[in-house]
Structure 1
Amino acid sequence: MRTILFCQNNYAFGILEPIKEVLIEKDYPYTWFITDKLVDGFPFTSDDYTTEISDLKNFKSDAIFVPGNEVPYYLRGLKVQVFHGLAGEKKGHFRIRHYFDLYLTQGPYFTRGFDKFKAKYKNFEVIETGWPKLDIYGKDKLLYQAEKKKLLNEHKANTIVLYAPTFSPSLTSAPHLIEEIKRLSSNSDYLILIKFHPLMDNKWIEAYKELANSYSNIKFQDEKNIIKFLLMADLMISDTSSVIYEFLLLDKPVITFKNISKKIHWEDSDDYGALINLVERNLNEDPFAEQRKTIFNEFHPYNDGKSALRMVEAVEDYIEKNGVPEKRKLSFLRRRKIHSIFGK
């Protein structure tokens, strides 16, 4: 099964790497597609990769795994949506753009949502597999434990607090929490790690880097792999970011500010000034521990570390039953949009 791993943003690397490992185990040929802006930070340079759509045409793939919103309809291969997050409340998560033949969902909440559209449009399939980015939770949850211990010892701290806001200007807490993060750092028991989305406004990136340079127990993290920091942290602070669900699935407390979800199973507040009290309350009492079970059951009830394997096997089964599509039928406007992004 010849496979394309299709990346438009660097967060796709961590989602697709577990799929890559399955492809290697099965001895399937694969290539990465990355955009020009991703070349300098591409972590798999020993793999076959390209920035040219023409190379993908010549590759003649059987399957294309996509954790983004678009993929060229004219490429040969089953076009598979594997998603780039767990925030179903965000605008566009359940939007059907008609570019995909197969949606591989993370859990029952997402499966129900896309099954409704499947019944409506009748031109794609939905299969629940779990999400490959979280396979590490089932395989090696303690991978960074030694590094965490070393960090805490170096900073003479007891607890790692992770601040990971969204980049969206209308939803991000970054402008509102910078002074509160500074106040929180006055407690030397806390080591505060700042991890921003790749698309965060550079203004706030620089402001928080300056903050980290001024306080010894605040560290700004440039490393791309947020999973590392999710595994190391004891508590997360955020807003409306899909990463909060990834953290909740580790059964650890989350504090958000002005989250837009209609079903909140963690501490959410409209009062940025309450940060210090909320951190203390959630670390000491963990009042939402029972509610977190809903996130596990609905969003990602898989802890066996085999979601990537299920995805590859789902694609194998689909192709065996239906064959490999040469291209996907789209409306004129959809085709024109793809041409504007990727060319013809």
Structure 2
Amino acid sequence: MKKRYLMYIAQNYSYAILRPLQHAILAQGGEVRWFLEGNEVNPAFLAPDEQVLATIGDVKAWQPDAVFVPGNVVPSFVPGLKVGVFHGFNAGKLNRRGREDHFEIRGCFDLYCTQGPDTTERFEQLAAEHGFFRVAQTGWPALDPLFTPEPNNPYLAPADPRPTVLMCSTFSRNLTCAPILFEKIKQLSQTGKWRWLIQFHPKMDQDIVDKYKSLAGEHLQFVETDNVIPLLQAADVMLCDTSSVLLMFLLQRKPVVTFCNQSPGEYLLDVTEVDAVEAALTEALQRPEALMAEIERYCQLIHPYSDGASSERVLQATNAMIADGRAGLKSKPLNLMRQFKMRKKLGYWKW
């Protein structure tokens, strides 16, 4: 029988993360349905041929074999193997408990599909410690299209010889560079020496979004999209903060300038003063040999795959666990309070 796979999403960026996986599933004859949790995910981004299950009752009736989640939590009352595929790379962000959020184990998943050796090692240690989930290093499905040229990329400007700078920023008030750098970006964009693309996390404060939108013109384009990959492919250099999207950019072997990055490394050009941004971007565009060597070393650590086949590896690991079941694993924690909150959020009280 055909296997059934549910794409469980709560943010618009999750469409682009899971669509390469959907493509691999359909190529192998499987079935795919989508479930959209909450008000922050827009159903308008669904393609005409993508089918939605509107309620948890519909999901339970459909009985998926596996559920793919590019987020932190998924209800235990959703049927199927729960597979965590992450919404980004580990950018060193600390949560309210002072722990790295990327490695926070919330007791929701049966399988984590990790992106590269640096996170695989940590998750394998956590798997041994907790005993209720497995780990497979697969690479990240969202990146499969990154390694395939986009012939109709709308953000390319072949007739414009200027370097293209992509600015991205996280929404966290403690980490975002957007409000601090606004006047500098305004000044730099007005010089016209570079072409600017601006794209922010969908949770960015609307006042900040509106300020940057006001800069739009012949030298700067503000982009709102559910698919950041064409933007990454179109730019020569990135300006960022501690957003994990910078790691996706690095994987193209392109340099990144960061402002007050929480975990700066030799593979980044990190600055802490607003007036240092322009010089750092100028240096990055020259692609200094030492910097590019550090970028290559780091890419091998975080995501060694550039074959565009991570989706197939995720699917293989998932199907293997569907076949083997949870034999040898402990029961997942009950998480009664979290499950109650999710039932309330989703309006589902059947047992």
TM-score w.r.t. length of structure 2: 0.90
Distance in 2, matches of 1:244 and 1:273, equals: 21
Query: Superposition RMSD on alpha carbons, in Å?
Result: 2.0
* Matching residue within 110, 113, 116 for 1:107: 116
Are 1:306 and 2:309 an aligned pair? yes
**SS of equivalent to 2:293:** coil
Are 1:85 and 2:88 an aligned pair? yes
For residue 137 of structure 1, what is the aligned residue in structure 2?
146
* Matching residue within 30, 33, 36 for 2:32: 30
Q: Which amino acid aligns with 2:322?
A: I
User: 1:142-181, CA deviations, whole angstroms, 9 ceiling, x for partnerless residues?
Assistant: 31576555x252xx44211101111111100011111111
Q: 1:294 to 1:285 in 2, by over 3 A?
A: closer
For residue 194 of structure 2, what is the aligned residue in structure 1?
190
Q: 1:42 to 1:163 in 2, by over 3 A?
A: same
Structure 1, 62-71 or 282-291: larger mean CA deviation: 282-291
Structure 1, 233-242 or 27-36: larger mean CA deviation: 27-36
User: 1:54-104, CA deviations, whole angstroms, 9 ceiling, x for partnerless residues?
Assistant: 111111111000001111101221000000000241221100000000000
* Matching residue within 335, 340, 350 for 1:331: 335
Distance in 2, matches of 1:188 and 1:307, equals: 39
TM-aligned CA deviation for residue 31 of structure 1: 0.5
Q: 1:263 to 1:70 in 2, by over 3 A?
A: same
* Matching residue within 231, 256, 259 for 2:233: 231
* Matching residue within 47, 55, 66 for 2:69: 66
Extract unaligned runs of 5+ from structure 1. Answer: none
Structure 1, 332-341 or 244-253: larger mean CA deviation: 332-341
Answer yes or no: is the 8 Å Cα contact 1:60–1:76 preserved in 2. Answer: yes
Distance in 2, matches of 1:309 and 1:331, equals: 31
Distance in 2, matches of 1:334 and 1:194, equals: 36
**SS of equivalent to 2:60:** helix
Number of residue equivalences: 336
User: 1:213-235, CA deviations, whole angstroms, 9 ceiling, x for partnerless residues?
Assistant: xx420111123211110001000
Answer yes or no: is the 8 Å Cα contact 1:161–1:190 preserved in 2. Answer: yes
Are 1:316 and 2:319 an aligned pair? yes
Distance in 1, matches of 2:48 and 2:112, equals: 28
For residue 97 of structure 2, what is the aligned residue in structure 1?
none
Distance in 2, matches of 1:54 and 1:211, equals: 46
User: 1:11-41, CA deviations, whole angstroms, 9 ceiling, x for partnerless residues?
Assistant: 1100100110011111111210013533443
User: 1:244-294, CA deviations, whole angstroms, 9 ceiling, x for partnerless residues?
Assistant: 000000000100011111645210111111111111111124351111023
Answer yes or no: is the 8 Å Cα contact 2:12–2:42 preserved in 1. Answer: no
Distance in 1, matches of 2:28 and 2:287, equals: 47
Answer yes or no: is the 8 Å Cα contact 1:165–1:238 preserved in 2. Answer: yes
Q: 1:269 to 1:39 in 2, by over 3 A?
A: closer
Structure 1, 216-225 or 164-173: larger mean CA deviation: 216-225
Q: 1:333 to 1:222 in 2, by over 3 A?
A: closer
TM-aligned CA deviation for residue 332 of structure 1: 2.5
Q: 1:282 to 1:70 in 2, by over 3 A?
A: same
Q: 1:284 to 1:24 in 2, by over 3 A?
A: same
* Matching residue within 280, 290, 293 for 2:293: 290
Structure 1, 327-336 or 218-227: larger mean CA deviation: 327-336
For residue 163 of structure 2, what is the aligned residue in structure 1?
159
Are 1:98 and 2:107 an aligned pair? yes
Q: 1:323 to 1:26 in 2, by over 3 A?
A: farther
For residue 20 of structure 2, what is the aligned residue in structure 1?
18
TM-score w.r.t. length of structure 1: 0.92
**SS of equivalent to 1:293:** helix
Distance in 1, matches of 2:226 and 2:7, equals: 18
Distance in 2, matches of 1:262 and 1:251, equals: 17
Distance in 2, matches of 1:262 and 1:226, equals: 23
Distance in 2, matches of 1:205 and 1:39, equals: 18
Distance in 2, matches of 1:257 and 1:81, equals: 30
* Matching residue within 251, 254, 266 for 1:252: 254
Q: 1:102 to 1:235 in 2, by over 3 A?
A: same
Q: 1:302 to 1:337 in 2, by over 3 A?
A: same
Distance in 1, matches of 2:32 and 2:332, equals: 21
Answer yes or no: is the 8 Å Cα contact 1:5–1:31 preserved in 2. Answer: yes
Distance in 1, matches of 2:287 and 2:83, equals: 42
Distance in 2, matches of 1:144 and 1:94, equals: 37
Distance in 2, matches of 1:334 and 1:82, equals: 20
